A = this chain, B = another copy of it.
């Protein structure tokens, strides 16, 4: 289970955080400690969440960049090693870190195991490398003195005295009786450097004072395409759909390239204060109600709505979906209809008003008449209610479900989620939780820190170039990059984005292109592929929302973007640079309506360059800079380029390219770039 810190008192000490100097140690003790304190500083380890109070996140088979500042006084050469291990195992992998410049060191690791990884960094002065660098510079300046050479030989002699396999003694022999130039060449030799650095004792070796942790999760935690639908709409027109009706949609969903099928709550729906169409306070006869008003006489969160075909129908869908490589995601909405069995069985879990009623959910002056909330901190709920929710999740895990979209987690206690997710994942490390916390950043990010795998984001409201770029930088260059996995939904049953209400088909292409190429995780709510956007007037809500009624659609309606979505999802599978948001790099373009960015997995020799016109109404054109440097294209070199939507191929010699986007045709372009053969920088 997670041992991430909760917000509880921690011991402080003379070495610890915020120690206040309550007691003044004796001057002699202070000096004794100072002369033994590390001379080499190891700082700003990454990945790191709140100084290690929470684990960072990683994804199986996706590279993790471990980094640290390593520096010391003076001009010695420093060396650093990543020390990586599994909890409960002393044996550690040691990986040499590379100097990036400016005192930053890095090791790139591709995790091959799901679970907690612990790491720290060790660093030291590399006395041989320091000597060698000095000798090299003196040699270039033709200033090597006999004493300079003598000091190299003295170091070899020191290593020879503790030689375990004769390698240093053999070097000693090679150095004997040679000319000055031959001795210098040997002392500057790469192989000799490797031998000597490994044999001379490390200077002032230091280990970072604590380990940090990374939780590596399975691939769909970081790379997946979500498709959301209301199963009750899957039936023939006029008939309440079942999971078996959804089975018949699977070929189309799979052909579009989706691998997660997410359904709003599938449980019995209350009748008391049931909402009518378009969220009206009175339901008409036959109105199906909101699936979020969970619970009725025939069961609560662990039951399946009879009209959906019951549990057997769900199992058939689950198995059929698996055949298409599609995994089901269920909705966890912690709230009850007034008809939920728990109100009778566990009145101690609810808050009763002095007039004997249960307060409905509200955010004054808004009231949610068809639902009531549980009270996590009622004396009678501690901990029985918490356990009951855990058992609900376990029930669905027992049915083979491993993905959960959690409704409004920010209105339930943080300690509850932290415990719940850790508890579930201790037995089911493949469980995935998507947080639907459309709230302020502090809470949205906290939920990610305490265990949520993924999160809905502000992407839906970022339409302009500057704000999209700023948001991507926040997610990929600032602290959230280590703990927050964005799932870029382009719409949801709750969000009919104003941009799409007026953009026409081009806007849907723009948003699909952005979501699929900016984030490893994206999703859509069905209807998006048909460019549906009719709103409740003046609102972000859909007109005739499926939240309150059945909707039947013509999935081949003219103007749909099924082809483009299929192509985009296909490109995501083919190109691992598109499988995480982390590899985002902004690229300069001279048109404020054209966002350009590069996507490149560290170490790869191919790069995806995406250019999106954000204007769905007018043609936009502009120039942008090609990443010649990132692909190590030298003077006179060229880039091989393929535009992946059209398949057109180019060879580009100019660093600056001009492009034109016609919204009625294709408002974006995706280029796969690699260095043209043979010319290296």
Residue of B nearest to A387 (CB): B31
Q: Say whether A393 faces chain B, with CB atoms less than 8 Å apart.
A: no
* Inter-subunit contact B7/A210 (CB<8 Å): no
Q: How many A residues, CB 8 Å from partner? A: 106
- Of residues 360 through 392 on chain A, the ones whose CB sits less than 8 Å from some CB of chain B are 362-365, 377, 382-383, 386-387
Give the CA-CA distance A30 to B416 in the complex, in Å.
11
* Inter-subunit contact A11/B11 (CB<8 Å): yes
* Inter-subunit contact A103/B1 (CB<8 Å): no
- Of residues 426 through 450 on chain A, the ones whose CB sits less than 8 Å from some CB of chain B are 426, 440-443, 446
* Inter-subunit contact B24/A15 (CB<8 Å): no
* Inter-subunit contact B12/A8 (CB<8 Å): no
* Inter-subunit contact B415/A43 (CB<8 Å): no
Min CB distance A362 to B, Å, is: 8
Interface string of A1-22 (1 = CB under 8 A from B): 1110111111111111111111
Contacting residues, chain B, for A165 (C-beta < 8 A): none
* Inter-subunit contact A31/B419 (CB<8 Å): yes
Give the CA-CA distance A354 to B14 in the complex, in Å.
42
Residue of B nearest to A422 (CB): B30
Given A34-B386, A141-B365 in contact, is the A410-B18 Cβ separation under 8 Å?
no
Given A103-B442, A354-B151 in contact, is the A3-B31 Cβ separation under 8 Å?
no
Contacting residues, chain B, for A27 (C-beta < 8 A): 1, 423, 426
Q: Say whether A602 faces chain B, with CB atoms less than 8 Å apart.
A: no
Min CB distance A19 to B, Å, is: 5
Min CB distance A332 to B, Å, is: 15
Q: Say whether A318 faces chain B, with CB atoms less than 8 Å apart.
A: no
* Inter-subunit contact B151/A411 (CB<8 Å): no
Min CB distance A137 to B, Å, is: 4
Give the CA-CA distance A22 to B16 in the complex, in Å.
21
Give the CA-CA distance A95 to B296 in the complex, in Å.
50
Contacting residues, chain B, for A354 (C-beta < 8 A): 147, 150-151, 154
Contacting residues, chain B, for A8 (C-beta < 8 A): 15, 33, 37-38, 209
Min CB distance A99 to B, Å, is: 12
Given A10-B210, A21-B116, A363-B75 in contact, is the A355-B102 Cβ separation under 8 Å?
no
Contacting residues, chain B, for A14 (C-beta < 8 A): 3
* Inter-subunit contact A7/B42 (CB<8 Å): yes
* Inter-subunit contact B15/A133 (CB<8 Å): no
Q: Say whether A35 faces chain B, with CB atoms less than 8 Å apart.
A: yes
* Inter-subunit contact B383/A18 (CB<8 Å): no
Give the CA-CA distance A136 to B530 in the complex, in Å.
43
* Inter-subunit contact A364/B133 (CB<8 Å): yes
Partner-binding segment picked from A66-74, A547-555, A559-567, A637-645: A66-74
* Inter-subunit contact A3/B21 (CB<8 Å): yes
Q: Say whether A345 faces chain B, with CB atoms less than 8 Å apart.
A: no
Contacting residues, chain B, for A21 (C-beta < 8 A): 1-3, 87-88, 116, 213
Min CB distance A423 to B, Å, is: 7
* Inter-subunit contact B446/A17 (CB<8 Å): no
* Inter-subunit contact A212/B38 (CB<8 Å): no
Min CB distance A429 to B, Å, is: 12
Q: Say whether A25 faces chain B, with CB atoms less than 8 Å apart.
A: yes
* Inter-subunit contact A71/B440 (CB<8 Å): yes
Given A18-B212, A412-B73 in contact, is the A138-B9 Cβ separation under 8 Å?
no
Interface string of A54-78 (1 = CB under 8 A from B): 0000000000000001011111000
Given A10-B16, A27-B423, A413-B73 in contact, is the A35-B386 Cβ separation under 8 Å?
yes
Give the CA-CA distance A143 to B53 in the complex, in Å.
45
Given A383-B31, A419-B30, A423-B27 in contact, is the A441-B15 Cβ separation under 8 Å?
no
Q: Say whether A41 faces chain B, with CB atoms less than 8 Å apart.
A: yes
- Of residues 602 through 625 on chain A, the ones whose CB sits less than 8 Å from some CB of chain B are none
Given A35-B386, A446-B43 in contact, is the A10-B15 Cβ separation under 8 Å?
yes
Residue of B nearest to A131 (CB): B364
A positions within 8 Å CB-CB of B:
1-3, 5-22, 24-25, 27, 30-35, 37-39, 41-44, 50-53, 69, 71-75, 87-88, 102-104, 116, 118, 120, 133-135, 137-138, 140-141, 143, 147, 150-151, 154, 204, 206-213, 353-355, 357, 362-365, 377, 382-383, 386-387, 410-416, 418-419, 422-423, 426, 440-443, 446
The 8 A-B residue pairs whose C-beta atoms are closest, nearest first, are A34-B419, A18-B52, A17-B52, A37-B415, A141-B365, A134-B364, A18-B210, A137-B364
Q: What are 20 residue pairs bridging A and B, where the CB atoms are less than 8 Å apart in the complex?
A: A1-B21, A5-B16, A6-B33, A6-B37, A7-B41, A9-B15, A9-B209, A17-B53, A20-B116, A21-B88, A30-B422, A31-B423, A34-B383, A34-B419, A39-B413, A43-B50, A71-B443, A102-B442, A147-B353, A147-B355
Apart from the given pairs A27-B423, A75-B363, A103-B440, 16 other A-B contacts in the complex at a CB distance below 8 Å: A1-B27, A3-B21, A5-B16, A8-B15, A10-B13, A11-B11, A11-B13, A17-B210, A24-B426, A31-B419, A34-B419, A35-B415, A71-B446, A74-B411, A103-B443, A143-B365
